[in-house]
Amino acid sequence: MEEKLIINFTPTGMIPTKEMTSHVPVSVSEIIDDVHKVSEVGITMVHLHARDSINGKPAYEKEIYAEIISGIRKYAPRLVICVSLSGRDFSELSQRSDALYLEDSLKPDMGSLTLSSLNFNNMASVNTPQMVQDLAKVMKEKGIVPELEVFDAGMINYAKYLEKKHLIQPPYYFNLLLGNIACAQADILHTGIMINDLPKDSYWSLAGIGNNQLKMNSLSIAIGGGVRVGIEDNIWFDTSRTKLATNLKFIERIHVIAQANEREIMTPEEFRIKMHMLPGNGSYGRKNL
């Protein structure tokens, strides 16, 4: 029986602005509202980025994440929530790990862990070996599951290194992001190499940057993987870039493609079981194994 489809919803990111698209949710209430809408359609998890309430720029403060998480859990107490620990704008461990210190009903289930430094079009995401290991240590101590972000095959090898150092433990969840200018490209060869290199007991989703999003999501649905989808990676609904997307339309389209491929959507409850997580509804993060 084919694995159910993991839908990892990425509503905001760090790059899209209201000037680029009015549909990107930036405020706490907008993010909560978008997550609410798409969770009614059906998603497995949400990958959150916080924004400053005054200027809309990326933010790291746990207080902002607490507002978002609290608002989401009022209506979706079992939804798997991942917080971003990105290194694009923030360089200090205290900043990048801040949201990991939320507790009880505000505790995130997962935290993103990009496994190496990389260049985007106009900026770098710096992830030194020490930073990656320190973030992994905090998540291990807090019982938070890493969302392993991979932009090329070498990052998968680094995940295996972290495994040997007992900083991460299976089962694993990987986001394989393809199509970035300085990383693995969005084609079948790069995709196959990366999937083949994954460690045992790994679940994975494919993401495509920009116009590659629909292509990589469609490929992943066809071959049995999950999808990462949302305005964070792509603001356009069509590859001709004539129609701006909404997050709801993105998720509805994934459901149409999934149905055509006879793929059922994995529920948050099912994902929690596979990832050895607590059941939600007041208990969050990884079980003590």
Does residue 288 lie in a domain region? Answer: no
Tokens at 172, concatenated: 């694993």
User: Could you give the number of structural domains in the chain?
Assistant: 1
* Chain segment 59-78, per-residue pLDDT in tens: 999 999 999 999 999 999 99
Compute the distance between CA of residue 145 and CA of residue 280 in angstroms, rounded to an integer.
14
Helix ranges (H only) for 59-148 are 62-73, 93-96, 129-142
Compute the distance between CA of residue 25 and CA of residue 118 in angstroms, rounded to an integer.
26
Q: What is the pLDDT of residue 1?
A: 46
Nearest to 209, CA basis, from 232, 188, 187, 243: 232
Which amino acid, 68? I
In this structure, the dihedral spanned by the alpha carbons of residues 257, 261, 267 and 270, taken in order and rounded to 10 degrees, is -150
Nearest to 81, CA basis, from 143, 144, 30, 132: 144
Does residue 122 lie in a domain region? Answer: yes
Q: What is the pLDDT of residue 122?
A: 84
Q: What is the pLDDT of residue 288?
A: 85
Question: For the chain, which residues score pLDDT lower than 70?
Answer: 1-2, 289
Compute the distance between CA of residue 171 and CA of residue 275 in angstroms, rounded to an integer.
6
Residue range of the domain that includes 254: 7-274
Compute the distance between CA of residue 27 and CA of residue 61 in angstroms, rounded to an integer.
14
Does residue 280 lie in a domain region? Answer: no
Does residue 64 lie in a domain region? Answer: yes
* Chain segment 201-253, per-residue pLDDT in tens: 999 999 999 999 999 999 999 999 999 999 999 999 999 999 999 999 999 99
Distances (CA, A) of 252 to 223, 255, 288: 20, 5, 36
Tell me if residue 283 falls in helix, strand or coil. Answer: strand
Does residue 249 lie in a domain region? Answer: yes
Are 211 and 185 contacting, i.e. CB atoms less than 8 angstroms apart? no
Does residue 12 lie in a domain region? Answer: yes
Tokens at 267, concatenated: 């529920």
Does residue 105 lie in a domain region? Answer: yes
Q: What is the pLDDT of residue 87?
A: 73
Other beta carbons less than 10 A from residue 88's beta carbon: 18
Q: What is the pLDDT of residue 89?
A: 82
Beta bridge partners of 50: 59
Compute the distance between CA of residue 117 and CA of residue 124 in angstroms, rounded to an integer.
7
Does residue 173 lie in a domain region? Answer: yes
Q: What is the CATH number of the domain that holds 132?
A: 3.20.20.70
